[in-house]
Structure 1
Amino acid sequence: MAGINVGRVIGGGLLAGVVIDVIDGLTNGAILGARWAEETKRLGIDMSGGAQSQSLAGWLTFGFLCGIVLVWLYASIRPRYGPGPKTAVVAGLALWLITHLAFAAWWFTGLFSFGLVAASAAGGLVAAVAGALAGGALYKEV
């Protein structure tokens, strides 16, 4: 049994990160951006100017880190589930479940509405699975 190909994890992870960031950007920016702005403003948080740029940089970095973790997870479970799209989907679902369970705290602590968090989570599911399929397709053991 070969070890994990770190170079492929990073390369596939960066591709997965691009996919995640594009889909999350469309979901949370183009589609839900006005709702995020409205609910954030209700909390008394000013996201204009530098704060918005800092937030965007943080989310883009988060997407790339998730992509790398996602492909590492795919590589780690490949020996048990076998290579291919089914295993990539399992890895994507696992990443989505972990990250969005944490994000659910935004709703149950009353920071953001259920509808907004649920819509964002739905987009996150698409992003995680699509990122896993893209990154997993690049991963090879050797």
Structure 2
Amino acid sequence: MNVKIKKLHPEASIPVYAKPGDSGFDLVALNDVIIAPGETKKIQTGLAFEIPDGFEMQIRPRSGLTFNTKLRVQLGTIDAGYRGEVGVIVDHLFDGGSLETLFGKNDEVLIHKGMKIAQGVIAPVVRVSFEEVTELSDSERGDGGFGHTGV
């Protein structure tokens, strides 16, 4: 599949797959961004995409960033009709104490320009029709949810 991409800034990085067989391609930060504890920031990529009809781009966290820091990339959806800049929403969780991160002991975290901040996945979209009913069929699970099988 060919996906058209437009650099909105000359220093934006065209995404690449790190390894053959990877489902996600790397999205990198266009600029340095400092995120203080408790803050949420939108990290610019400097890129716009033309996603084919019937598909979406999913924005997902990178496992290393999630495991090694208190930064949390929020899941996102880029619809086929969107042509604006793709941004990555990042939260800085904070537990009230000092924060040990990949970047050293500091409460603020610096996202460096060019840093791999998230991954994008192109996925098919299934469109459905909704039918309102008064009853749903029975199932083994029923309405059990939110920990009904144990913690």
Instruction: Name the TM-score, length of structure 1 as normaliser.
Output: 0.26
Larger of the two Rg values belongs to structure? 2
Structure with the larger strand share: 2
With normalisation by structure 2, the TM-score equals 0.25
Higher helix share: 1
Q: Which has the higher contact order (CA 8 A, sep 6+)?
A: 1
